Amino acid sequence: MKQFIINIKNTMRSQLCIMHYALCIAATALLLAACQDRDLPGSGQMQVASPDASSISGALSGENNYDYTLTWPASSNGAVMNVAVYKNGTQQQALTPCPSGSFTLKNLETNQLYEFLFKYANDDAISNGVMTSYTRLGASTPSEVKMDQVDITDDQHNLQISWAASTDATSYILKVVKNNTEEVVNTTVNGTSYLLENVQMKDRFEATVIAQNNDGKALPVAASAKIGGKIPAFLSEYATPDELIANGDDDEASAWLWFQANYPKGEYVYFGNISTVDDIADYRMLFWLRDIETGNVDDIWNFSDVARNAAPCVEQYVKNGGNLLLWSHAVPYIGAINRLPTSLLRGVSNAFGCGAGGWNPDVWKMGVCLNTGSFSKDFSSHPIYAGIPTEKLSDNCFAAIAFKGAGWTEDHNCLFFDIPTNLTGLDNNSEECYNALTNDFGIYPLGTWDSQSSWVSQLNVWEAKGADKAPEGFQKGAGTVLCIGNGGCEFSMKNEDGTPDKSAQPKNNSCQDNVLKLAKNSIEYLMSI
């Protein structure tokens, strides 16, 4: 009898265990089912119904119907609609609450697939999502607009405006504004060029081109130009060219000798002779190459008194539309003219070199592309690289240029990391960060170390243009600052014994032609914009 009772107890215990186990499985399944579609923090079962896709409507909006506005009815339980945006399968915007009952995506590119994900959410739950899509039809956007000054005589000038053809455009709308206020052209053009005659010295023009066809208009493409003399200037901390050649660094002296040979009408400008912006106002661009060999990194930031005193004038020159080329250790001068805060430049990670150097047998190549894995950019078509042969090093670095061959190498890098994320607050390597960096802040990466072409964060070769979120005075209409901070772009490599080679055509670098072509292209580019 005792044994029987024990068996009954054991059986009951087993059954209870089985029932408990089954309940655990059921509870787990229920929990998984309840949480499967939960994307926001909270607790409890799904309480928010999915949006009804048929109730979501969209319509073109904004000027020229460039924007697309979506609307929907309010949720019956007060949940807020969240919207995410994808372009051609790549996320452009994460889920974002839209309590107003509408969402507008601005400046849709033509002939691109935009998809919109909708989810209702409250404090405790988020619904399943539904998607809609839209493609704005119209002509494709021209790849670029160029503005070239045509000098008829010393006193007569025209402005040639041209743009790349859009294969599906039937015509183009051209608008030209003078000195930021006066509209001088607003017309439809059937070709890809327009000649603006009898323009005046120091006038500034901005041209906007809109491609169109029967389906719609492309987003506008713009360019600007300032009418002025075709004279560049070479900046120096030495009072005269003779003093520079006798006592200056070999790279600085060689840069002047090369500049003099290639631009015989160009002028030598001593920083100490710049007391007002009028002293440099008539130059089309300013070129400063600075090279430090002291081995003390702090010296890179310690500009001479004459350069520091001239900085407010150079700053105003750029704000007025003048263009500036900074090479090697001149790059930090962009902080002295307040285009970027010096505190930012000194506060981020950087790579500086300023020693005497030594023999190095390697060929140094610079990546002229970005390929982060999520998006890519090819900079090889930029005017500063025109006519310079590129090569593919890997799938990641699909465009690279050799700038330094075997020889005495100074390794004078002057470049910065993490400025993009510091300016934008976004992830360095995201396309969203790149777009904000360029469109909002006017900072355009143009080159990286060939091993780091996946990093948006590295400003190696780059330019700063006028932009809405640039510092005061550097907005639209301001000039461009082009920075060449790559250590391989050494203007003159020393002889094998370490003695200087001061020459207009330095001979010790097997890749010298590429360096000089980069310099020529950079000056021509800055004189053309």
Q: What is the mean pLDDT of the chain?
A: 89
Q: Do 221 and 236 fall into the same domain?
A: no
222-263 pLDDT tens trace: 988 888 777 899 999 999 999 999 999 999 999 999 999 999
Return the structure tokens found at 237: 């901390």
> 140 pLDDT exceeds 90?
yes
Q: How confident is the model over 381-427, as pLDDT tens digits?
A: 999 999 999 999 988 899 999 999 999 999 999 999 999 999 999 98
Residue 175: burial class (beta carbons within 10 Å; 0-12, 13-18, 19+) = middle
Examine the fold and report which residue of 135, 161, 190 is the final residue of a domain before the chain moves on: 135
Say if residue 116 is in the same domain as residue 238: no
pLDDT of residue 202: 75
Residues 300 and 382 in one domain: yes
pLDDT band at 447 (very low <50, low <70, confident <90, very high): very high
Residues 177, 265 within the same domain = no
305 in a structural domain: yes
* Residue 489 placed within a domain: yes
Residue where a domain terminates, one of 204, 226, 248: 226
Q: For 383-392, b where at least 16 C-beta lie within 10 A, e where not — what string?
A: ebbeebebee
How many domains, the chain? 3
Pick from 157, 148, 75, 89: nearest CA to 118 = 75
In this prediction, residues 82-109 reach a mean pLDDT of 94
Confidence of residue 2 (pLDDT cuts 50, 70, 90): very low
Q: Is residue 217 domain-shared with residue 350, that is, in the same domain?
A: no
123 and 176 in a single domain? The answer is no
- Does one domain contain both 299 and 349? yes
Residue 7 pLDDT greater than 70, yes or no? no
pLDDT of residue 13: 41
| CATH of residue 106 | 2.60.40.10
State the Rg of the chain over Cα: 30
Residue 18 has a pLDDT of 38
- Per-residue pLDDT for 30 more than 90? no
Burial of 160 (0-12, 13-18, 19+ CB in 10 A): middle
Which of 30-44, 240-254, 296-310 has the weakest average pLDDT? 30-44
- Residue 202 in any domain: the answer is yes
Assigned domain for 25 exists: no
411 is written with which tokens?
């390794």
Higher per-residue confidence, 31 vs 82: 82
Comparing 32-36, 183-187, 344-348, 423-427, the range with the smallest average pLDDT is 32-36
For residues 292 and 358, state if they share a domain. yes
**Residue 200: inside a domain:** yes
As beta bridge partners, residue 150 has: 158
- Please identify, among 77, 107, 135, the residue that sits at the C-terminal boundary of a domain: 135
Whole domain around residue 73: which residue ranges?
A: 53-135
Is 47 part of a structural domain of the chain? no
